[in-house]
Amino acid sequence: MCTEGQQLSKTEEIVKGLRPIDDTLFRKMFNGNIPLTQLVLRIFLDKPDLVVENVNTQFDLKKLMGARSLILDAYATDSEGKKYNIEAEKSENRAEPNRARYHLSALDVENSKTCTDFDQLPTTYILFITEKDIFGADKPIYHVERKIIETGEDFKDGEHIIYLNASYKDDSTNLGKLLHDFMCSDPKDMIIPEISKSANEWKNTKKGLSIMCKAVEDYANAKIIEIALNLLKAGQTVTFTSSMTKLAIDFVKQLAIDNNIAYVM
């Protein structure tokens, strides 16, 4: 926890530097926040009448036996039953085409039920908000749709992939303003009041800052444990893994046992 001394200063500094495009802040801002999610989707999709009914962050999709797990940054449903997965991605390789393909497939599994006809699958949208212009065409938004090559007609399967380029510079439109705000660390510099207000509540109020500090520390601890697991799986000793991660030797040993990893002290 952020309570005292130097650790408080370091963690608060990290929180102050977070932007809405950063996972830790993004998930806090949008979790259960229907009005904010609705505003963002209306702007991104240019659908001013869109009505969001629910939204959750870190939504854990059910998965088929043996398939990799998938936790969504934000998962929303509108009044027509359409599904929206919004992903804030700073790394280019986390917004690659095959990742979008997997997200769409996982959403289909999530929304399919036994004995349900395929035409009852909901319309789904995957929206990647990327820190860089991964397509290099200097556009604020890229729509990816399937087409029938021979006829040029849309292949109406109800799946839509959209990439939002947060590095785009033009605040003369609502979309440009929103993309600008996703890259801001200081709520005072944000243009859209609703985005600024939410970011400020999580970054600059006592309660919000305390929760954010805890989230940052939990994330850091999780990453350290992930590194330790990878070292153990690669055959590194418990002692070496402990020295590299600064985790206690007994903790590293138990980590190996809990994950059925053969270990050497």
pLDDT value at residue 6: 44
> Which residues span the domain enclosing 27?
19-184
Instruction: Give the C-alpha separation, 184 to 132, whole Å.
Output: 14
Instruction: Give the C-alpha separation, 85 to 82, whole Å.
Output: 10
pLDDT value at residue 87: 93
- The enclosing domain of 66 has a CATH number of 3.40.1350
Per the domain annotation, does 222 fall within a domain? no
Instruction: Give the C-alpha separation, 111 to 93, whole Å.
Output: 26
Closest CA to 130 of 98, 159, 163, 97: 163
**Burial of residue 144 (number of CB atoms within 10 Å: 0-12, 13-18, 19+):** middle
Closest CA to 122 of 178, 84, 152, 151: 84
Asked if 125 contacts 84 with a C-beta cutoff of 8 angstroms, the reply is yes
Q: Considering its fold, how many domains does the chain have in total?
A: 1
Per the domain annotation, does 264 fall within a domain? no
Per the domain annotation, does 258 fall within a domain? no
Per the domain annotation, does 158 fall within a domain? yes
Per the domain annotation, does 33 fall within a domain? yes
Read off the tokens for 105.
């497939």
Half-sphere exposure of 2 (CA within 13 A, CB side): 21
Per the domain annotation, does 226 fall within a domain? no
Q: What's the pLDDT tens digit per position in 60-83?
A: 766 654 566 678 889 999 999 999
Read off the tokens for 239.
């002692």
Per the domain annotation, does 79 fall within a domain? yes
Give the chain as a 3 state SS string.
CCCCHHHHHHHHHHHHHCCCCCHHHHHHHHCCCHHHHHHHHHHHHCCCCCCEEEEEEEEECCCCCCCCCCEEEEEEEECCCCEEEEEEECCHHHCCHHHHHHHHHHHHHHCCCCCCCHHHCCCEEEEEEECCCCCCCCCCEEEECCECCCCCCECCCCEEEEEEECCCCCCCCHHHHHHHHHCCCCHHHCCCHHHHHHHHHHHCCHHHHHHHHHHHHHHHHHHHHHHHHHHHHCCCCHHHHHHHHCCCHHHHHHHHHHCCCCCCC
Flag residues of the chain having pLDDT under 70. Answer: 1-9, 61-69, 92-93, 114-115
- CA 6 from chain centre, in angstroms, equals 29
Per the domain annotation, does 1 fall within a domain? no
